[in-house]
Amino acid sequence: MASNFDFLKAIDKELYEIILDSEKLFHDEYFNQTCVQLRIFAEKMAKKILNHNDPNLTFDDTLNCLKDKIKTQKEKEFIDDLFFIKRMGNKSAHGEDTSPKDALEALKRAFEAAINYAYSKKKDEKINKLQFDITLLVTQKPLKENKLVEKYVQLAQEEKEELLNSKQGEFNSLVEKKDENGFKDKNYITNTKKYKKKELTPTQKKIKEKVKQAKKNLKQNINPPKTTKTKKKPKKQKKSNNLKHILFITFAIISLIFILKMLIVF
């Protein structure tokens, strides 16, 4: 049976056997028991790193001692993973239901912690390149035995690309097809670019301007501009002059009568 933690077997057999039981429990869907077993794994690992054999030293004491010695970001992440596993193990041990998602996350944290532990012991860069594989966890079989689906998907993709390439070749051959006269068949696309407009010669420009002016003149002759008629002024002025003459004559007659009366009296 293959395991994500096979690299740990040659480095620390005790830890390997504990974590192997955790994987089996997860595979059988005992998620609470998985987290409890992972807590045991994390505590054993922490005490091995601290190199302290005091049986009275609790898991919290061990983690706090390691926390005080943190110097790098990698060491901090390692301690954070151990704290997470401890917390999940305590919840599961106290009867709280553990979801598959939480149990899986605890297993992933244990994998990262085991990578750091194994590297500190062996200093092999290949260990840092290892990746946690969920398919391997569920099937407990080597990766090469679990890639059939991906293999068929890849084959289908390759067939699809081959078909597209062949269709593209057919299209290209049709585009280059020529008729008997040596010209390309008009039924096929030869060029998707728009043709540029040709520039007019100076003579053509002059002819164009003359035609334009002729059209303009013709339009003006057909539709001449409307002339606005000036309105005649009303004969108010003439009437006012006649009235003045009448008044003047009336005044003169009255004055004459008045003068005659004065002459008669005297």
List, for residues 176-202, the tens digit of each pLDDT value: 554 445 544 444 444 444 445 567 778
CA distance 222 to 257: 72
| Residues whose CB falls within 8 Å of the CB of residue 74, separated by 6 or more in sequence, listed in order | 116
pLDDT at residue 265, rounded to an integer: 60
How far out from the chain centre does Cα 199 lie? 44
Domains defined for the chain, CATH in brackets: 6-142 (1.20.120.330), 147-188 (no CATH)
pTM of the model: 0.52
Show the tokens assigned to 108: 């992933």
pLDDT at residue 216, rounded to an integer: 76
- Least confident span in 130-134, 175-179, 248-252, 260-264: 175-179
Tokens 């993973």 identify what position?
A: 81
Which residue in 2, 30, 3 sits closest to 114, CA to CA? 3
Give me the residues paired with residue 178 across strands.
Answer: 184
Mean pLDDT of 19-44: 94
Contact 23, 5 (CB under 8 A): yes
In the three-class reduction of DSSP (H, G, I as helix; E, B as strand; rest coil), residue 184 is classed as strand
List, for residues 20-29, the tens digit of each pLDDT value: 999 999 989 9
